Amino acid sequence: MKIKKMKVDIYFDFCRDAVVPEIPRVQDVLYALRLTDEQKSFDFCRDNHATYIVNVGLVIVAIGYKVLSMERYDEAVARKLIAEAIIALCPPEAKCLFNSAFVEAQEIFVGKPAPSKTASRRDVLDACGCAECTRMATEERRYDVFYTR
């Protein structure tokens, strides 16, 4: 019997309009794995927002074994693995330069600061590839053309 490889698309549960964080922070995943005593939003969300905790668990399922079974634990490598998993598990609408958890993961994975911290709002809208930012940038350009005549 031959087993076929399956491609499974699994993403974080995410609502763009949520007022509490939903995309996990790297620090909170380390905290949930008991590799650090420092956390960002984990304790607050544990009692108030189950979606965040479920998403932290999804990251742990994706890379927990790799992190916990390192021959020699290296926090920098663990952070990079966690950041890579967060980026991969973000649904398309969460891959936005205005989403601070996504930007943090990208900075850790790439190793340099995101342009969204120093650029103007308009530049960030233009640089971001998400559908919402593209729509807002188009609307703002249309508004500028209409009101500068």
Run of H or E residues at 89: helix 75-89
Confidence band of 1 (pLDDT split at 50, 70, 90):
low
Q: How far apart are CA 49 and CA 47, in angstroms?
A: 6
> What is the mean predicted confidence (pLDDT) over 81-102?
92
| Domain boundaries of the chain, sorted by first residue | 26-112
Average pLDDT, the chain: 87
Longest pairwise C-alpha distance within the chain = 70
What is the pLDDT averaged over residues 65-83?
94
Q: What would the mean pLDDT of 124-137 be, rounded to a whole number?
A: 88
Lookup result for tokens 């087993």: 3
**CB count in 10 Å sphere of residue 28:** 26
Read off the DSSP letter of residue 97.
Answer: T
At 119, the amino acid letter reads: A
- Residue 111 — φ and ψ, nearest 5°? 90, 15
Taking CA atoms, 47 is separated from 41, 44, 96, in Å, by 11, 6, 27
Cβ burial of 11 (10 Å; 0-12, 13-18, 19+) is: middle
